[in-house]
Amino acid sequence: MKNRNIFVACDTSNLNEIKKIILQTKTNKLKIIPKFGLQFFYSKDGRKFLEKIKNDFWLDLKINDIPQTAMSAIDSLKDLKRCKYITVHANGGLEMLKTVKKRTGKINKNLKILGVTVLTSLDEKSLKQIGYTKKVKKLVLKQADLINKSKCDGIVCSAKEATMVRKKYKNLFIVTPGIRLPGDVSDDQKRVMTPKDAFKNKVSGIVMGRSLTKGNIKNNIKRLIDHLNK
């Protein structure tokens, strides 16, 4: 199972909680990488902690701005040596995606750019409210086309669309959020799936948050291992 990437969402600004999550999710049976989002990155201690962290990590910023500003944002992160993945949003457009990818190659050759498609908290109704006319699947595939053209290293999409994306892009690194263990509540996610079903859809990695970090973390890791072994 070590070839399966499990990203654990560290969605808190509490530094002690972050340290606890990193420590208690460690296992020799799975490849687990912490993922830090805006909440921790913007916190008082977050940025400083990430400068010194010893683990590889994913910085989930979903950069979405004009190309020059997006490029400058990448420049400002060059001191985060253990950052292995960073996200940009496909809504920023092809030129922004290409600019970020090109700049990243110059400052950190080990840093992978993941393009984010339709958030898993959105459904057809939500997209219509925003003003999109395409259905979720068609919009995700359109965004995947942009991400692929930009030469970004991977894509973030719902497991519901992963099969469709994989069929068209055989070698693309696909990560899927909105993953819950069987029986867990969906919370704010609309398009969810279990870890085992997600990997059946040939994803490269999954993002798990509360299913792992809420309650007894070590027991949750055991539940995940048992679930994947069934």
Determine the residue type at 224. L
Give yes or no for a contact between 108 and 83, defined as CB atoms under 8 angstroms apart: yes
For every one of its 230 residues, what pLDDT tens digit does the chain have, with 9 covering 90 and above?
A: 556 899 999 999 999 999 999 999 999 999 999 999 999 999 999 999 999 999 999 999 999 999 999 999 999 999 999 999 999 999 999 999 999 999 998 988 889 999 999 887 888 999 999 998 889 999 999 999 999 999 999 999 988 899 999 999 999 999 999 898 987 766 655 567 899 999 998 999 999 999 999 999 999 999 999 999 98
In terms of DSSP H, where are the helices of the chain?
15-24, 38-41, 46-52, 67-75, 94-107, 124-130, 136-149, 159-168, 195-200, 210-213, 217-229
Active site residue 52: no
* Helix, strand, coil % in the chain, rounded to nearest 5: 45, 20, 35
99-155 confidence digits (pLDDT tens): 999 999 898 888 999 999 988 788 899 999 999 888 999 999 999 999 999 999 999
CA distance between the termini of the chain: 12
pLDDT at 190: 55
The residue count of the chain comes to 230
CB 118 within 8 Å of CB 190 = no
- Catalytic hit among 62, 78, 135, 170: 62
Read off φ and ψ for residue 155, nearest 5 degrees.
-135, 145
Show me where the domains of the chain are located.
5-229
Check: CATH 3.10.129.10 for 5-229? no
Residue 87's beta-bridge partner residues? 114
Q: How many CB atoms lie within 10 A of CB 91?
A: 14
pTM of the predicted protein model: 0.91
